[in-house]
Amino acid sequence: MILVWMIVVLLAGGVVCWLVAQQDQLICRWIALISVVTAFSIPLVWFINNPPIKTPGNNWFIHYQANWIPAYGISFHLALDGLSFILLMLTFLLGTLAVLSSWNEVRERTGFYFFNLLWTLAGIAGVFVAMDMFLFYFFWEVMLVPMYFLIAIWGDFNRRYAAYKFFLFTQTGGLLMLLSILAMYFIHAQQNGGHYTFDYFALLNTNLRGSAARWIMMGFMIAFVIKLPMVPLHNWLPDAHSEAPTAGSLILAGLLLKTGAYGILRFVLPMFPQAAADISWLAMLLGVIGIVYGAMLAFAQTDLKRLIAYTSVSHMGFVLLGAFAFREIALQGVIMQLMTHGVSTGALFVMAGMLKERLHTRDINQMGGMWTAMPHMGAMAMLFVMASLGLPFLGNFIAEFLILLSTFTVSPVLTVIASVGLVLSALYSLRLMQKVFLGQTQTVNEIPADLSAREWVIVGALTLAIVILGLYPQPVINMVSGVVAGIAIR
């Protein structure tokens, strides 16, 4: 039941925000903050009060099931396991920071803005816990549409183009997924004497063979790799990320991309183990291409947010590479990568937003020497840049290390090429640092202020997260070990 409350709090909070904003914008912001924090605390408090006892063979902490449209076998089925739990934690951490980071940035239509923000978060949270395929698709769309508005209304100069592109790409994938869901629905009913159901656990046992499995998997796969994104389906990402408002970029990079990876881990690999294994070489190859190609594009960019966006392409290549290695260590690395990439790239986007607020430009050629004016922000940026190039003692290293270590046993050649990505990541990261914070101070009209207290809270929370993940990742590893063991080949 707590899962329902968690989502309802967000949805209701969004509506209340919208209604209240006409009277007072400040109260609206506080309501948004309080509802996200409440949603954050619900699963957290539950977890602290009921530490789940691990029983072999059952990774699920909570089940909640209610009838929705029983005539078509659609139920309101939510469930929580280790993977969902840590992704929920990430969602609400970044969600809280997203609200905080748009505190002053958004001045027009505040109510509608926070409505969209909270509904997107609700959609994402729903995606992570929905265990009914129809419900999953429903949440998938719930997170998509408000996000479209966030980009199209509060975005930058080229926002329309970016929003359309985002919507078209994701919607194409979503429709293919819908087709696949329906195909599974009917095949399952056929095999089980007309028992129509959308339930995940029932469909998991569908007996799929040969080309049917392959085609249905491709439907899911395309939807998820567009979100992930995988080269060559990544083109929506740089535009959407660079045009979105700060909180939008944070949620896009930190959370929306993770839904794609989550889908692969939750649906593609367990439902179609054979078909997925058949295309694993292709997926790993495309993952590696993504790592290198994304890094090379990131190196060439002059738009700060676009640069960071392409680093996401590069980092998510590791996810694809690791997931399709089907090894326990690699899968642990993938989940770690989801967490750490969310935190580190999110932090970089937040800082890009802060810089834009101060300098009114995203062009890194017009920045430079910012360290002198903003030493604290510079130091923090250095930390996250180092995280993104995979410096040990920060979380990203653990993730990339685990993925590469384990993939090496499967495909040494691809791993070696992927490792080249580490060198390239150093290239673009240092270039970013160099262009923005080091070098000569550019002529700016006013000296930009260093981090404010609110910004310290945001950056500090992310710093803490990335350092803890880097030095003591074991809790996360233990949390998802059951899920991973279910997917990995033994």
Residues 165-224 that bind other proteins (CB under 8 A): 165
* Three-state DSSP state, 58: strand
- Supply φ then ψ for residue 13, to 5 degrees: -55, -40
* Out of 279, 329, 377, 414, the residue judged to bind other proteins by CB under 8 A: 329
Burial class (CB in 10 A: 0-12, 13-18, 19+), 38: middle
CA 148, CA 222: separation in Å to the nearest integer? 20
* Three-state DSSP state, 80: strand
Q: Is 426 in the site for other proteins (CB under 8 A)?
A: yes
Closest by Cα among 174, 139, 187, 156 to 309: 156
Question: Of 152 and 247, which has the nearer Cβ to other proteins?
Answer: 152
Site string for other proteins, 250-289 (x = CB under 8 A): ----------------------------------------
Sequence-ordered alpha helix ranges (H) in 244-327 = 246-251, 257-263, 269-271, 273-278, 280-300, 304-323
* Out of 439, 444, 448, 456, the residue judged to bind other proteins by CB under 8 A: 439
DSSP assignment, residue 437? T
Site string for other proteins, 283-322 (x = CB under 8 A): -------------xx-xxx---------------------
Closest by Cα among 290, 185, 310, 292 to 241: 310
Residues 228-247 that bind other proteins (CB under 8 A): 231-232, 234-235, 238
**Encoding tokens for residue 412?**
């040494």
**Residues with Cβ within 8 Å of residue 234, at least 6 apart in sequence:** 290, 294, 313
Stretch that binds other proteins, among 111-119, 203-211, 277-285, 422-430 (CB under 8 A): 422-430
- DSSP H/E element including 138: helix 133-154
Q: Is 332 in the site for other proteins (CB under 8 A)?
A: yes
- Least Å distance, CB 241 to other proteins, is 13
Question: Of 190 and 442, which has the nearer Cβ to other proteins?
Answer: 442
CA 398, CA 470: separation in Å to the nearest integer? 6
Q: Give the count of residues interacting with other proteins (CB under 8 A).
A: 55
Question: Of 174 and 473, which has the nearer Cβ to other proteins?
Answer: 473
* Out of 1, 8, 413, 471, the residue judged to bind other proteins by CB under 8 A: 471
DSSP bridge pairs for 60: 81
* Out of 23, 67, 274, 409, the residue judged to bind other proteins by CB under 8 A: 409
Token pair 């080949």 is found at 489
Question: Of 4 and 427, which has the nearer Cβ to other proteins?
Answer: 427
**Which residues of the chain form contacts with other proteins (CB under 8 A)?**
165, 231-232, 234-235, 238, 296-297, 299-301, 328-329, 332, 369, 371-372, 375, 379, 382, 386, 391-393, 397-398, 401-402, 404-405, 408-409, 412, 415-416, 419-420, 422-423, 426-427, 430-431, 434, 437-441, 471-474, 477, 481
